[in-house]
Amino acid sequence: MKRIAVFLVAALAMGSSVGVGLVSSGHVLAATSSPLDQLLPLVGEWEGTGSNGHAVKLTYTLVSGGTALMEKLSPSGEPEMITIYTVDGDHLRVTHYCSSGNQPEMETAAIKGTAKEFWFAVTSVKGMKTSDEGHMTNLVLKMVDRDHITQEWTSLENGKKQSSLFKYTRKS
């Protein structure tokens, strides 16, 4: 029993997703191996820049009893946007609440084992007025190390794809 307790404490201290889920208050939820557990190290505040060189703030908060991760993206001089990360079986799903008024839903392939890079592809888009309206189609989230992440967002508008790379450093 003592070895199990030591393992759990070590896993928590290392930010490991090995069988432990956390809520923002630091309480252990349950022994799981949910793909969402791999995103728990993101909780906190981040600062960075986009491809255009403008400053961007990013905040991750665990919400809904630890079943969803909320991302608040605040580009300098632009409206903020919210992205919610959830689990669907062995897939991660996101719904991106875009400042343009639509809500692309994206999903990863099945996640097996530990990942540091998550590729999301669009499955549906709600709130579009026309099929040519600009919307996000892909997101690549890369956890470079504990204090650095990147996001590459790809959009489609009038048949043209465009990607923007964001680089972030942990603030807190």
Q: How confident is the model at residue 64 (pLDDT cuts 50, 70, 90)?
A: very high
Which of 103, 95, 85, 97 is CA-nearest to residue 35?
85
Give the residue, 11 or 146, on which the prediction is more confident: 146
Task: Identify the pLDDT of residue 18.
Answer: 35
Express each pLDDT in 122-154 by its tens digit. 999 999 999 889 999 999 999 999 999 999 999
Domains (range + CATH), the chain = 35-170 (2.40.128.20)
The per-residue pLDDT for 13 is: 37
Distance CA 110, CA 126 (A): 23
Q: Measured at the alpha carbon of residue 168, what is the angle toward residues 162 and 171, in degrees to the nearest 5?
A: 150
Q: What is the pTM of this model?
A: 0.80
Kindly tell me if the per-residue pLDDT of 4 is higher than 70.
no
Instruction: Identify the band that residue 8 occupies on the pLDDT scale cut at 50, 70 and 90.
Output: very low
End-to-end, the C-alpha distance of the chain in Å comes to: 34
